[in-house]
Structure 1
Amino acid sequence: MKKQTQKRLILSLIAVFLLSLIVGQVPPAKAAPALDINVKNAILIDASTGKILYEKNSDQAAPIASMVKMMTEYLILEAIDEGRLSWEQTTQISQYAYDISANNNFSGVGLRLNHDYTVEELYKAMAIYSDNATTITLAELLAGTEGEFVKLMNKKAEELGLPDYEFVNSTGLSNSMLGDNYPEGTSPDGDNMLSARSVALLAYSLIRDYPHVLDISSIPQLDFYGEKLDNWNWMLNHDPSVSPYLAQFHYEGMDGLKTGTTPAAGYCFTGTAERNGKRLISVVMGATSEPERFKETSKLLDYGFNNFEQIEVYPEGYQLKGNKSLKVVKGKEKEVEILTEAPVRLIVPKGIDKSAFKAKYVFDKKVVSKDKEVTAPFKEGTKVGHMAVSYDGDDLGYITSGGGDKLQVALVTDTGVEKTNWFVLMMRGIGGFFGDIWSSVADTVKGWF
């Protein structure tokens, strides 16, 4: 007996050892490495879906300096798109704008009084060289006064669903820097306060709604009336023979979007780059130096490009096992197959195991009964609900309030089913009636034996 026990113990140990070898050969799914960003606030998102890939204090509202000009850009591009402004339209600058332009403490291209400037010239000076006077001039042109323009900014922020925002001027300067010229309806010591999440959503919305914004933000140098002015975005492809210092910061695929610097905000930058068809948007706030904001942006973007990929979690036409069809009431066919209308594609860490995703059907109660029946007639592709996808792992969510929509796909019928005629329905009813009687009789007879 002792020998048998020892033999079993040895066999068990051998089995455990072999199992450990097998398990050890299965590589685990790679998790994205930890990332330390040396700024106060940061966020990284996928530009096509709004998926958040990284965040650091992204919900804390703080001054954002000239990154606020992205909202000014949005409103100007919207006005042009709707025909309220045109690129060729001309205007002259106000005394207030001239005073700002003449102040050497601010970014400026050196505007002149009594000179006609086109909207395109003003916009490029704002977007490329972060000029404050041209920004004010565009705000006054569109809304009459900067104070009225600020109202438009806050209204648009609400429409876009920015979670944290307070706009007090069009430029991003602190109101205290404007003296008595701070916009009407705002505080003399007010500042434009947004969270990194809000800035990212603003950039996401700007690129989504007006993608040609990148055609201008990607210009490395502005020629403004004969003066060559470098884009404050050092990560663009600056000509090393013209700007050798800036050229060292070049990041492949970089084409936007907006820098910002004030004493209150520190050094900020909203960047965007595209590689191999994948575009990312990054936001850094509160960096301690100009080079640092670009260095930390490079780290953020590298993190996104190197560690995430888009995969097809479920293909178009997917069917859950055991749930491939619904019963049809009053139809020429008694069943109809259901399937997903489109594929489910998600941005996920590279190497993730697809088994981490689960799917379930959620039927539309107005279309499908509690007995999982759908009533004829209906056409092919009739929506009967959706397939919801869940992820069993760490997830930072989406930048948009409707981001969860990416985790579901419409569930539709594979074919259409016509309503059958009254005679067939009657015969089915009769058949069902006698079928019930026969079942009852059969059950009764079984009970006799």
Structure 2
Amino acid sequence: MRRLKQAVMVLMAMVMVLGSTSASAAVFTPETSSTAALLVDLNTGRIVAEKNGDERLPLGSVSKLVVAYFIEEAVAEGKLSWDQKIKIKPKLAEYSHDMSVATVPLYVDGEYTLEDLMNATLLPSSNSASLVLADLIAGDQEKFNEMANEKLASWGIPDANWSSASGLPVGALGPFQTDTYHEDDMNRLSAREVAIIAGRIMQDYPHMLTFNGKITEQFPDGKGGYVKLENTNELLKDKEFKVLGMKTGTILEYGKNLVAKTSIHGVPVLSVVLNARPADSETEVFTTSKNMWHQASAQLKAETLDRGTTVSDVKDNQAAAGQASVSLAKKQSFLLGVQEDMPKFDDVKLTSEVPYKAGETIGSAKWQFSTKSDNYLPGVGTVKVMTDEDVEPANWFVRTWRSIFG
């Protein structure tokens, strides 16, 4: 009896461990040289590949995606315009000529549009241009950091401790270093949190991809001519995968980073690789990213569910029959593990009130995959559903009865 109890306890412990680890595991764990890596199916929001996705790591210039988001937001709200001329402050101009931290010199008497400075920030990853944009948004660097922390918290990224619009360590900010942070402080987020930022950009301001998807662009040289800016993302020129941005980043002591949008079997995906080593390699982060994509191509397959695919019968006390039959409101393409069963749907939520017309979108449902159905980016993982037939409301007496007795 004692041995039986011990065996039962061991079995229960194994179930608890397996249950707890499976809740956050993806379809596969990529074999990479990077500290962290993540791959998200953008059609479902499901994380299909993940390695060390929760550890906060140095971001470097990936941080510039945040200041770029603020600029896109200000333009969308009419507070700024792309052809608006931006004056460069003397202190920022001087800082931009320190080639230990800068890549694009700026001049007080130079003529730069907002679009020019976004190009400089997102293509060659100009630190000084990103500081100009942060000043434009917030007035100074410290206030920008406060705004960034608030914005990230609103996206479900608390306690980000954002210390730099450019992504440089605080000690490299020169005259823009504040007493709020230690000189060794730097922006750190997890691969999952970086994916949240990239997802918000693509959801709210996909226009940004017109910037960070450029291979080259012209930029005023401050002397009446132009220089060519080159994008640091070498995979934009890749012949095998079509890559649409988004940003590179480097912290030499830790490694290189890449956030990119591409596709696997025709399904759009978001790829995050953090701290690929060796840090002094110009190609390792790109090789690492492609290796993960090749692994995904082998581990995953593309599947499709047509519009009208049955989801379920959902309880609706307002309907004459007490329920409504719902199906997918549009065709869905997605990635599935080669050994996974086709997904189902649950947690149907109705957002409309009867009467319904056949084919009318009336709510949403959550994807239910056989492998880790809860492994999604926040705010995604749902599909729109429609009613399969006309649905008339129940009469007043029936609705009242159901509201009281269920």
TM-score (norm 1): 0.70
* Aligned counterpart for 1:129 among listed residues 124, 146, 159: 124
Using the TM superposition, give the Cα deviation of residue 191 of structure 1 relative to its aligned residue in structure 2, in angstroms: 0.9
Using the TM superposition, give the Cα deviation of residue 32 of structure 1 relative to its aligned residue in structure 2, in angstroms: 7.0
Q: Tell me which protein shows more helix as a share of its residues.
A: 1
Using the TM superposition, give the Cα deviation of residue 359 of structure 1 relative to its aligned residue in structure 2, in angstroms: 5.5
For 1:302, the aligned partner's letter is H
Partner of 2:267: 278
Q: Distance in 1 between matches of 2:261 and 2:363?
A: 36
Q: Distance in 2 between matches of 1:317 and 1:61?
A: 40
* Aligned counterpart for 1:402 among listed residues 359, 363, 379: 379
Instruction: Confirm whether residue 158 of structure 1 aligns to residue 145 of structure 2.
Output: no
Gaps of 5+ in 2: 1-25, 399-406
In the superposition, relative to structure 1, how do residues 155 and 265 fare at CA in structure 2: closer, same or farther (>3 Å)? farther
- Tell me if the contact between 2:32 and 2:288 (Cα under 8 Å) persists in the aligned partners: yes
CA RMSD of aligned residues (A): 3.6
Q: Distance in 2 between matches of 1:281 and 1:85?
A: 29
Gaps of 5+ in 1: 1-30, 238-248, 368-376, 426-449
In the superposition, relative to structure 1, how do residues 363 and 70 fare at CA in structure 2: closer, same or farther (>3 Å)? closer
In the superposition, relative to structure 1, how do residues 182 and 49 fare at CA in structure 2: closer, same or farther (>3 Å)? farther
Q: Distance in 2 between matches of 1:115 and 1:324?
A: 63
Q: Distance in 2 between matches of 1:72 and 1:108?
A: 18
Work out the percentage of aligned pairs sharing the same amino acid: 25
TM-score (norm 2): 0.77
For 2:379, the aligned partner's letter is G
Partner of 2:45: 50
Q: Distance in 1 between matches of 2:325 and 2:127?
A: 57
In the superposition, relative to structure 1, how do residues 164 and 345 fare at CA in structure 2: closer, same or farther (>3 Å)? farther
Partner of 2:256: 267
Using the TM superposition, give the Cα deviation of residue 35 of structure 1 relative to its aligned residue in structure 2, in angstroms: 3.3
Using the TM superposition, give the Cα deviation of residue 235 of structure 1 relative to its aligned residue in structure 2, in angstroms: 1.3
Partner of 1:8: none
Residues 7-406 of structure 1 mapped to structure 2, 5 A cutoff: 35-162=30-157, 165-183=160-178, 185-224=180-219, 225=221, 226-237=226-237, 251-274=240-263, 277-287=266-276, 288=278, 289-312=281-304, 316=308, 318=310, 338-340=325-327, 342=329, 345=332, 347-349=334-336, 351-352=338-339, 354=341, 357=343, 378-380=355-357, 390-394=368-372, 397-399=375-377, 401-406=378-383
For 2:380, the aligned partner's letter is G
Deviates more, 1:56-65 or 1:273-282: 273-282
In the superposition, relative to structure 1, how do residues 392 and 265 fare at CA in structure 2: closer, same or farther (>3 Å)? same
Cα deviation code 1:139-162 (max 9, x no counterpart):
112211111111221121122223
- Tell me if the contact between 1:336 and 1:413 (Cα under 8 Å) persists in the aligned partners: no
Deviates more, 1:176-185 or 1:293-302: 176-185
Q: Distance in 2 between matches of 1:170 and 1:123?
A: 13
Using the TM superposition, give the Cα deviation of residue 296 of structure 1 relative to its aligned residue in structure 2, in angstroms: 0.2
In the superposition, relative to structure 1, how do residues 419 and 33 fare at CA in structure 2: closer, same or farther (>3 Å)? closer
Q: Distance in 1 between matches of 2:318 and 2:201?
A: 46
Q: Distance in 1 between matches of 2:174 and 2:371?
A: 52
Size of the aligned set, in residue pairs, is: 363
For 2:152, the aligned partner's letter is A
- Tell me if the contact between 1:251 and 1:298 (Cα under 8 Å) persists in the aligned partners: no
Q: Distance in 2 between matches of 1:421 and 1:66?
A: 61
